[in-house]
Amino acid sequence: MSDSPEEMAVWCAGEDWCPVTSTATIICRKWHPVIVHRLLHNGPTGFSELEDHVDGVSSKVLSDSLEDLQEKGLVDRTVINDQPFRVEYSLTKRGADLEPIISAMEQWGKANLHAPNESAEGRF
Amino acid sequence: MSDSPEEMAVWCAGEDWCPVTSTATIICRKWHPVIVHRLLHNGPTGFSELEDHVDGVSSKVLSDSLEDLQEKGLVDRTVINDQPFRVEYSLTKRGADLEPIISAMEQWGKANLHAPNESAEGRF
DNA sequence: CGGCATCCACATGGATACTG
DNA sequence: CAGTATCCATGTGGATGCCG
């Protein structure tokens, strides 16, 4: 498991900052990964459209999540039109760079989880 | 952004299950990614040792997290010795397969975040 | 060492209704 | 369409102390 027991010090011993922890605090919220995933695959998306694509999310929670993602510099909000009023949410560079993480999550999910309606082992 | 606008339906339209969402509910908790990361890099680890490696976690929260990870089939707990009492936590196959996700998170963090004490742009 | 018991605070999410 | 306003329930984490 270890790369080299002696040379490579045990992780975070004496370290006060850890990239994994920090990244986790950024994207570890229930809908964040899915929202990013949808924006990655569908490109810039309006609010209600996004609400449709993210199954099960309420407008309040989606609104909260998008605000949080904007604060963290992962998502941009652009007003496209005034009459009728239109906005578009899109990924910033930072946000788009999350793609490997989201993609890895998708792969793992497909390999290790399953749809609830399929006949399977019970858990997940 | 889209792979193929016509052929590939918009994500989760009509779908009732999504691998990204499901994976997020499994590992999106504050310490889960870090715990997995430490187990990946250091191999089987005792409780207190793990507590040392995961900077900032309390024994109660670590205990809760490990229990959750066990329930989800990502971590195994093995009693190594009775006198003195020793246990070891290790990753199951499922847990070890999270490596691409954790690794991607680590890379993204290194590229997009920074240590608090470094002179930098202010945010994160 | 490897936890659990307790208590508490707050973050997060869900339901519902309403608005410009 | 694109949200906001409430209100509430629960999840989640943190602090402290104790135990076999």
Give the pLDDT confidence of A1-35 residue by residue, as tens digits.
444 444 445 655 456 789 999 999 999 999 999 99
Q: Estimate the crossing angle of helix B59-71 against helix B32-42, to 10 degrees.
A: 80
Instruction: Yes or no: say if B9 and B47 are a contact pair by the CB < 8 Å rule.
Output: no
pLDDT digits (tens, 9 = 90+) for B58-100: 999 999 999 999 999 999 999 999 989 999 999 999 999 999 9
Nearest Cβ partner for A34 among B21, B106, B112: B21
Query: In whole angstroms, what is the distance from residue A121 CA to residue A86 CA?
Result: 45
Residues of B in contact with A10 (CB under 8 A): 42, 53
Residue B84 contacts strand C, CB under 7 A: yes
- In the numeric block, the tokens 């691409």 are attached to B100
Contact B3 A30 (CB under 8 A): no
Residue A114 has a pLDDT of: 80
CA distances from A41 to A34, B17, B119 (A): 11, 17, 35
* Phi and psi torsions of A81, nearest 5°: -150, 150
The answer for residues whose C-beta is within 8 angstroms of residue A34's C-beta and 6 or more apart is A54, A57, B18, B20, B21, B24
CA distance B47 to B123: 33
pLDDT confidence tier of residue A71, bands split at 50, 70 and 90 = very high
Binary contact (A30, B25; C-beta < 8 A)? yes
Q: How confident is the model at residue A118 (pLDDT cuts 50, 70, 90)?
A: low
Distance (Å, rounded) from C-alpha B67 to C-alpha A6?
30
Show the tokens assigned to A91: 């990924």
**Min distance B86 CA to chain A CA atoms (Å):** 20
Which of residues B119 and A63 earns the better pLDDT score?
Answer: A63
Tell me if residue B75 falls in helix, strand or coil.
strand
Q: What distance in Å separates the CA atoms of residue B31 and residue A86, rounded to the nearest whole number?
A: 38
Instruction: Say yes or no for a CB contact (<8 Å) between B24 and A33.
Output: yes
- Chain A partners within 8 Å of B113 (Cβ): 19, 22-23, 26
- With residue B41 as reference, give the H or E element that holds it: helix B32-42
Alpha carbon distance A10, A7 (integer Å): 9
Reported as a single tens digit per residue, the pLDDT across A72-106 is 999 999 999 999 999 999 999 999 999 999 999 99
Is the per-residue pLDDT at B44 higher than 80?
yes
Report the predicted TM-score, pTM, of the whole model to 2 decimal places.
0.87
Residue A117 pLDDT > 70, yes or no? no
What is the pLDDT at residue A9?
A: 53
- Phi and psi at residue B95, to the nearest 5°: -65, -45
Residue B15 has pLDDT above 80, yes or no: no
Q: Which residue has the higher pLDDT, B24 or B117?
A: B24
Q: What is the predicted pLDDT for the residue at B124?
A: 44
pLDDT above 90 as % of chain B: 77
- What per-residue confidence (pLDDT) applies to B21? 96
Q: How confident is the model at residue A116 (pLDDT cuts 50, 70, 90)?
A: low
Tell me how many degrees the CA angle A97-B116-A6 measures, rounded to the nearest 5. Answer: 85
Is the predicted pLDDT of residue B48 greater than 70, yes or no? yes
Q: Are A59 and A104 in contact (CB under 8 A)?
A: no
Per-residue pLDDT at B122: 42
